[in-house]
Amino acid sequence: MSGDPIPMTDAAATPPATSAAGPATGQGSAAGPVVRIQGVDKTFSRGGRVVTKALEAIDLDVAQGEFISLIGPSGCGKSTLLRIVGDLTSPSAGTVNVNGKTAQQARRDRDYGMVFQAPVLFDWRTVEDNVKLPLEILGWDGPRRTARAREMLELVELSDFLQHHPYQLSGGMQQRVAIARALAFAPAILLMDEPFGALDEMTRERMNSEVLRIWQQTGTTILFVTHSIPEAVFLSSRVVVMSARPGRITRIVDVDLSQPRTEDTRESRRYFELVTEVREALRAGGDDLDDAGTVNGTASFGRTTVEGAAG
C-alpha cells in the first residue's frame, strides 16, 4: 500500500546481501539454539533520561524449526524484542545470538525474513516483481529470479495474480505477497510482527493455516508476535507470555497439540484448555489484552508509525 509508513517495515523489503538460498534448515551449530536471548534489557532514553523501560531480563532459547509466539499486553515490548532479535535496534543490556553469531552478523548474512503488520509492497511493481525485488538486488539472474518468485507465489497460492498490482489485491493477499517475498531467499528465521492484525477474523484464520503449511514445508524457525490468544495457541509450538511494561517473560506455555493443525484443532478440548492457560498467564502477568488498546496515545494499529521512528 503506497501510503504505508516505510521506515519500520522497510526491513521486510531489505534485499538479502548473500546468494545463500539453500534450505532454511541445518544452519548454525548442530545442537545449539537458533536464537539465544540472554539477559536482555531495553530502555528508551531521551536527553540522557530513561523514558521507558521496555524489556527486563529476557532469556529465551529458540530451537531450529520451532514456532514461537510472543504474546502480552500492548506496549509490553513484543515488537521491541523482535526488533532486537532482527538487529533493527540494539539491547541496552544482554546478548542475542543467532546461529551462533551476533544478531548484526546474522542480519548481514540474511538469516532473517521479516513480515510486519502492514505489507510494504510497491504498487508500481507487479506482484511477481515485488517478490523478485530482494533477489534482484542479490544479483540473481533473470530466469532464476522468475523461477523462485513463481515458486514462492505458488506456495502462497497466488499464481493467478503474478501480473496484478498490490492495490488490486485484498489485504490478506497482500500479506501473502509479503510472506512470499520474505521467504524468497530461504531465511533461516522468519520474524513476524502481528502480520495478520489488520485482517478480519475469517481471513486471519485462513492465513494462520497458510503460515503453518508454509512453516511445515520450509522448516523455517518462526518468531511470531500477536495480540491474539487463539492465534498464538493455534500456531505455536510454544507461547511466550509477557507481562506489562517493563516486559518480562512470565510464563512459557508448551503447546502439545498434534500437527498438522486443522480446523478440528480449534474445536478440540485441549485447544480450549491451552487458550485458558495462556489467558490466565496473561492475567497473572498484571494486565489484560483488552485493557491496553493504546500505546502512548497511539492506537495500536498505528504503532508501525511509532516504531518507524525507532532508533
Ligand X SMILES: Nc1ncnc2c1ncn2[C@@H]1O[C@H](COP(=O)(O)OP(=O)(O)O)[C@@H](O)[C@H]1O
User: Which of 30, 160, 296, 297 lies at the binding interface for ligand X (CB under 6 A)?
Assistant: 296
Torsion over CA: 186, 188, 193, 197 (sign): positive
Binding residues vs Mg ion (CB under 5 A):
79
Stretch that binds ligand X, among 9-17, 73-81, 233-241, 256-264 (CB under 6 A): 73-81
**Shortest Å distance, C-beta 91 to ligand X:** 12
**Shortest Å distance, C-beta 55 to ligand X:** 8
Contacts of 68 (CB under 8 A, 6+ apart): 60, 62, 221, 222, 223, 224, 236, 237, 238, 239, 240
44 binds ligand X (CB under 6 A): yes
75 binds ligand X (CB under 6 A): yes
24 binds ligand X (CB under 6 A): no
Stretch that binds ligand X, among 198-206, 230-238, 266-274, 301-309 (CB under 6 A): 301-309
Task: Tell me whether residue 78 or residue 204 sits nearer to ligand X (CB atom).
Answer: 78
Question: Torsion angle, CA of 169/172/178/182, rounded to 10 degrees?
Answer: -150
- Max alpha carbon distance in the chain (Å)? 54
User: Which of 9, 27, 64, 80 lies at the binding interface for ligand X (CB under 6 A)?
Assistant: 80
Distance CA 87, CA 184 (A): 20
Task: Tell me whether residue 79 or residue 237 sits nearer to Mg ion (CB atom).
Answer: 79
User: Which of 9, 27, 69, 74 lies at the binding interface for ligand X (CB under 6 A)?
Assistant: 74
77 binds ligand X (CB under 6 A): yes
14 binds ligand X (CB under 6 A): no
52 binds ligand X (CB under 6 A): yes
- The answer to whether 71 and 277 are in contact (CB under 8 A) is no
User: Which of 13, 54, 84, 98 lies at the binding interface for ligand X (CB under 6 A)?
Assistant: 54
| Interaction site with ligand X (CB under 6 A) | 44, 51-52, 54, 72, 74-80, 245, 295-296, 303, 307, 309-311
